[in-house]
Amino acid sequence: MSEKNGALAPTGSACPKKATELFYVSHPKVERAMLGPFLSQADAECGREVLRSADAVVTVCFVDSLDELTYWHAVNNGQVCRAFAGPGSPGVSHG
């Protein structure tokens, strides 16, 4: 928080982040996406790998903008799925 015009104001941008697509992991037997959102297809592929189901697929949803909560949720989902997918999985860097 910072002071602005004598009142406390939140720091940082309140503007939504620009994004063109979010990725999800879906399964034909489930009505809604099982995992997601993800910021990259590679992270979603890690999520698909974590599910260990041959029928799981990566889907994309196009968006105009991304609020801060959804952005950080997507960042966290990617990190968690990369950690569980392990080395050798799509999107997991070696180094």
- Per-residue model confidence as pLDDT tens digits over 5-56: 454 444 445 556 665 799 999 999 999 999 999 999 999 999 999 999 999 9
Are 48 and 58 in contact by the 8 Å Cβ rule? The answer is yes
pTM for this one? 0.73
- Per-residue model confidence as pLDDT tens digits over 50-65: 999 999 999 999 999 8
